[in-house]
Chain A
Amino acid sequence: MAELLQHLVNGLVLGGTYALLGIGLTLIFGLMNVVNFAHGEFYTLGAYATFAALGLAGAHFFVAVLAAIACGTALGALCELVLLRPLRAESIDTTMLVMIGVWIAMQNGELLIWGGVAKSIPHPFPTAPLVLGPVSIAPLRVFVLVLAAGLIVTAYLLIHTTRLGTAMRATFQDRDTAALMGVRIGRMHTATFAFGSGLAAAAGALLGPVFLAYPSMGDLASLKAFSVVILGGLGNLPGATLGGLLLGVAEEFGAGYVSSGYRDAVGFVIIIVVLLFRPAGLFARSERIG
């Protein structure tokens, strides 16, 4: 029983991190229809930016996290303006190839700047775990979980209750109509990509201290983010959140009670089953046809 509870807590904590990775991508992939293979690199960027702000500039931990988010948002905006804007009329495959290029360039850039040795990001939280009966959890993980929840709610409110969010959704639902209604399409594209990238950087800034920062850390993050987005339904924020939690818990129980050698397989089996029975994702509303 104690083991079961610990597995459940582990799974939720892990799922929270997957959700955080997924929400940024669900905006870019789901709304903008850009297959963003560089998503994991913005995650890596967030981790290294935090490391740099802490180590080189001597900033406070929270300031460093904010700086990392700003850095990811800015680079995301730049990426959209320079690379994606000229390709807006091109097919999804063309932008996908460009994003693969960004992925390779950013990863090798990180390797060039930081080297291959992993960096440990210091944080102000105590390393002794919080103990609640049979379950223990690191204070840093609790902080990450709380902040992730905050970011997810903020993102949801931004997309669904503000004018900006309405304009974003309108742009990607029907570009011409939105343009006729006075929405500045170009700005919406830049804003959405920058916002999604900022969320990825936030995930990196928060998870970097939990794990380690190294150049290839984004690969696994990308993989999990795509899984979460597909599981939850494209462009669906609550879907990505629940998809992340579901994936985290499934992997945890798969590793704990089936076999740790098949840990990742458990997650992918679930994705295959979901795609077979609900191809639009677990939490997608039925699609409007015509």
Chain B
Amino acid sequence: MGAEIARDWINARGGVDGRKVELRIEDNKSDPKEAASAAEKLIVRDQVPAIMGAWGSSMTLAAMPKLEEYGVPMVVETSSAATITKRGNPWIFRISPPSEMEALGLEQYVDRLGVRRADFLAVNTDWGRGAISAFGDMLKKKGVAVGAAEYMEQAATDMNAQLTKIKGTGGDTLFLTTAVEQITLVMKQAQEQRLERKIVTTGGSSSPTQLIKQAGAAAEGSYHIVFFMPWFPEAMPDGKLARAFVDEWGKRGHPFEGLTEGFRGHDGIATIAEAIRVAGRDEPKAVRDALWRVSLVGVNGPIKFEKDGPAGKESGQSKPSIFVVQIRDGKVALPDFLAKK
């Protein structure tokens, strides 16, 4: 939906070199096998100059060999497993932060958050496992004791077993990495089990607005790492663009909760369109080469690719902006230690 806004904005400005941007959308059904065949369909049948995707890291990883096989670039707008840009796939350009980058972004706040003993609960996927190792390494370096590292299946609804185990470790903070539905369930069940912890969600997909609605009091006090703050768009690197995006999103009748995901689609499409403009044509290889030269400001902030991964076959990785918000009194707010600045 964010991608549609980017398309319409670009086309309203006359398109890319006079040509209209068109989106071809395939559903990977959050299934790695489907992701690979969807990528192949887009490349072979639709002959797209570039792909944007995928949401889940496991799906992105599954689609990656197809990019190399056919030579088509993919702008990764959400997936955050570190391995994506480390595999030596020169067709990958990521604008979302890998978990390591996110962990480094949080490092400066660890003391002020008062984290001394941390536990982890993550979805059992490439993303969740990657997040536990990235945040675990960062916290250990900061001298924080790391207790339990627990996993849950993607579709699991009952996390009481994991929470009981975590309760036994006596930590003070729980790092939670999964999609918003499961975060809601974990928060509710943590409340049922009287698990009194600071909860910090990672990955930027937590949608605090949805959590306030669905988890209610159970979400109170929790911290969330986000890559877009639609509650205060003016605080974003390009306040005017962010404001315009939030307004357009609302005008189209999309739910406000979706914004923390939706901006990614906008930034991904804007990046691809910019690369096609720089390349001057929409041939996949030319677009790939041009991606190295793009420099634009998206809703998240500046986008510019740096080399990442094994030498000679580097993937592109942009350095996105990272923010922390807190749910306080049933509203999304900047944490105390940031608001006072």
User: A136-B193, A136-B194, A260-B150 are known contacts. Are A118 and B161 too (CB-CB below 8 A)?
Assistant: no
Distance of A230 from chain B, by nearest CB (Å)? 19
B164 touches A260 (CB 8 A): no
**Which of A6, A117, A255, A260 is the one whose CB lies under 8 Å from B193?**
A6
A217 touches B157 (CB 8 A): yes
Residues of B within 8 A of A254 (CB): 161
Where the two chains meet, the residues of B that have a C-beta atom closer than 8 Å to any C-beta of A are 124, 150-153, 155-158, 160-162, 164-165, 167-168, 180-181, 184-185, 188, 191-194, 210, 213-218, 255, 257-258
C-alpha gap A48/B215 in the complex (Å): 18
Residues of B within 8 A of A157 (CB): none
Distance of B46 from chain A, by nearest CB (Å)? 23
C-alpha gap A257/B71 in the complex (Å): 47
Is A77's CB within 8 Å of the partner chain B? no
Residues of B within 8 A of A137 (CB): 192
B151 touches A260 (CB 8 A): yes
C-alpha gap A169/B331 in the complex (Å): 57
Residues of B within 8 A of A11 (CB): 161
B194 touches A263 (CB 8 A): no
User: A6-B193, A127-B191 are known contacts. Are A255 and B162 too (CB-CB below 8 A)?
Assistant: yes
User: A131-B194, A138-B192, A214-B181 are known contacts. Are A256 and B161 too (CB-CB below 8 A)?
Assistant: yes
Q: For residue A11, which residue of chain B has the nearest CB?
A: B161
B155 touches A255 (CB 8 A): no
C-alpha gap A24/B185 in the complex (Å): 25
C-alpha gap A14/B162 in the complex (Å): 13
**Which of A6, A136, A219, A261 is the one whose CB lies under 8 Å from B124?**
A261
- Over the window 4-17 of chain A, the binary record of Cβ atoms lying under 8 Å from chain B Cβ atoms (1 yes, 0 no) is 00110011011001
A211 touches B161 (CB 8 A): no
A263 touches B192 (CB 8 A): no
Q: For residue B195, which residue of chain A has the nearest CB?
A: A136
A261 touches B151 (CB 8 A): yes
Residues of B within 8 A of A174 (CB): none
Q: Which 9 residue pairs spanning A and B have beta carbons closest together?
A: A255-B161, A120-B214, A10-B160, A261-B151, A138-B192, A211-B157, A260-B150, A220-B155, A118-B181
Is A212's CB within 8 Å of the partner chain B? yes
CB-defined A-B contacts under 8 Å, sample of 20: A3-B168, A10-B164, A118-B184, A120-B184, A120-B213, A127-B188, A129-B191, A136-B193, A212-B214, A216-B155, A217-B157, A252-B160, A252-B161, A254-B161, A255-B161, A256-B164, A256-B165, A260-B165, A261-B151, A263-B153
Residues of A within 8 A of B151 (CB): 259-261, 263
Q: For residue B157, which residue of chain A has the nearest CB?
A: A211
B124 touches A251 (CB 8 A): no
B257 touches A263 (CB 8 A): no
Is A141's CB within 8 Å of the partner chain B? yes
Where the two chains meet, the residues of A that have a C-beta atom closer than 8 Å to any C-beta of B are 3, 6-7, 10-11, 13-14, 17, 117-118, 120, 127, 129, 131, 136-138, 141, 211-212, 214, 216-217, 219-220, 251-256, 259-261, 263-264
A141 touches B185 (CB 8 A): no
Residues of B within 8 A of A251 (CB): 161
C-alpha gap A192/B184 in the complex (Å): 36
Distance of A204 from chain B, by nearest CB (Å)? 12
A117 touches B164 (CB 8 A): no
Residues of A within 8 A of B192 (CB): 127, 129, 136-138, 141
A127-B191, A212-B184, A255-B165 known; 9 new pairs, CB 8 Å cut-off, are A117-B257, A127-B216, A127-B217, A127-B218, A129-B192, A141-B192, A255-B162, A256-B165, A264-B153
A10 touches B161 (CB 8 A): yes
Q: For residue A18, which residue of chain B has the nearest CB?
A: B158
C-alpha gap A129/B196 in the complex (Å): 13
Residues of B within 8 A of A13 (CB): 160
Q: For residue B155, which residue of chain A has the nearest CB?
A: A220
B191 touches A260 (CB 8 A): no
C-alpha gap A264/B155 in the complex (Å): 11
Distance of A48 from chain B, by nearest CB (Å)? 15
C-alpha gap A120/B212 in the complex (Å): 11
- Between B152, B164, B217, B255, the greatest number of chain A beta carbons within 10 A of the residue's beta carbon is seen for B164
Q: For residue B258, which residue of chain A has the nearest CB?
A: A117
User: A117-B255, A141-B192, A260-B165 are known contacts. Are A219 and B155 too (CB-CB below 8 A)?
Assistant: yes
User: A219-B155, A261-B151 are known contacts. Are A129 and B194 too (CB-CB below 8 A)?
Assistant: yes
Residues of B within 8 A of A3 (CB): 164-165, 167-168
- Between B167, B188, B218, the greatest number of chain A beta carbons within 10 A of the residue's beta carbon is seen for B188
- Between B157, B213, B218, the greatest number of chain A beta carbons within 10 A of the residue's beta carbon is seen for B157
C-alpha gap A255/B150 in the complex (Å): 9
Residues of A within 8 A of B191 (CB): 127, 129
Distance of A220 from chain B, by nearest CB (Å)? 5
Residues of A within 8 A of B255 (CB): 117
C-alpha gap A251/B159 in the complex (Å): 11
C-alpha gap A195/B161 in the complex (Å): 32
B161 touches A7 (CB 8 A): yes
User: A6-B193, A129-B194 are known contacts. Are A260 and B257 too (CB-CB below 8 A)?
Assistant: no
- Between A14, A131, A263, the greatest number of chain B beta carbons within 10 A of the residue's beta carbon is seen for A263
C-alpha gap A66/B322 in the complex (Å): 47
Residues of B within 8 A of A118 (CB): 180-181, 184, 214
Residues of A within 8 A of B210 (CB): 117
Q: For residue A264, which residue of chain B has the nearest CB?
A: B153
User: A127-B216, A131-B194, A214-B181 are known contacts. Are A263 and B164 too (CB-CB below 8 A)?
Assistant: no
B184 touches A263 (CB 8 A): no
Residues of A within 8 A of B162 (CB): 255, 260
